Amino acid sequence: MDVKSRFVERILQEEGVLMTRYQEAAIRKRTTSRSGNLLSHRAMTVSAGTGASGTLSLRHIDYERFLDMKRLHRGSKTYRSNRKIHNRFVFGTYGHVAKRLMTEFTDEVAAKLKGTINAG
């Protein structure tokens, strides 16, 4: 694995851990847990690509997205939801990842990563 792919993988891993931690706190605060499915069916994975590519994936239960919508229509009634447990964290993480990838890859970071790659 080269230096850039190691850097991308590290950034994605750090941001993914932060996203899941903050999102879990929001889910616990803004929802009432009956079955625990929202928290138990979540998983975050990071896979490094070649060069400066990589993937951060968040797997979650389908209805998490519906709880995040401003209005949920059931029949003729409209229920307000807007719990802010999904989009806020996903799109916030996109922004943090982009900013960190653009600004944090310096010669010093590359040298440190080369040292860890050679030692491991």
Count Cβ atoms below 10 Å from residue 72 Cβ, excluding itself. Answer: 15
CA 27 to CA 39: how far, in whole Å?
A: 8
Residue the block writes with tokens 């803004």: 30
- In this prediction, residue 48 has a pLDDT band, given cuts at 50, 70 and 90, of confident
Mean per-residue pLDDT for 10-24? 95
Helices (H) and strands (E) in the chain, counts: 5, 4
Which helix or strand (DSSP H or E) is residue 74 part of? strand 71-74
Q: What is the chain's alpha carbon radius of gyration, rounded to the nearest angstrom?
A: 18
How confident is the model at residue 15, as a pLDDT?
96
